[in-house]
Amino acid sequence: MRFLERTTTDLPNKVLAVLDAIEAAQYLISQNATHLINRLALEVAPCKPFSNMLDTVEIMTCSFLVDSMNTFWMGLGCSTLFLLPSIILAVKLAKFYRRMDTEDVYDDSSVSGTWHFTL
């Protein structure tokens, strides 16, 4: 209790100092508001065309170039994803293709114009 009594004896003076600082800030804002608005209009407003130009460049690069490149790379990645298993499957099936009898025997004794295949 004594510690609280010692630390809170100066509390009303601190509260009054904070209230005085708030009043001073409020007075400064109310007196300089028109000056600040005019200053912003004169200093920041001339940058608006430059800001619009930067926004346009950002929209052009992100929307048209980067997004289309992302689509290109995604399509390339998906193609590679399906290409690798198909190459592996083709290599596995090649041994069966090599074992096939690739010569077709044609029967010469057949009627002209028709071909008979024997497997």
Q: For the chain, what are the domain ranges?
A: 2-99
pLDDT-derived band at 114, boundaries 50, 70, 90: low
In this structure, what are the phi and psi dihedrals at residue 106, rounded to the nearest 5 degrees? Answer: -100, 140
Question: Which pair of tokens denotes residue 26?
Answer: 């409020």
pLDDT, residue 119, reads 53
pLDDT-derived band at 108, boundaries 50, 70, 90: low
pLDDT surpassing 90 at residue 18: yes
Identify which of 92, 88, 94 has the alpha carbon closest to the alpha carbon of residue 80.
88
Task: Give per-residue pLDDT as tens, 65-107.
Answer: 777 788 888 888 889 899 999 999 999 998 888 777 655 555 5
Query: What is the pLDDT averaged over residues 35-64?
Result: 81
Say if CB 82 and CB 72 are below 8 A apart.
no
Task: Give per-residue pLDDT as tens, 3-13.
Answer: 887 878 888 88
DSSP string across 41-85: HHHTGGGHHHHHHHHHHHHIIIIIIIHHHHHHHHHHHHHHHHHHH
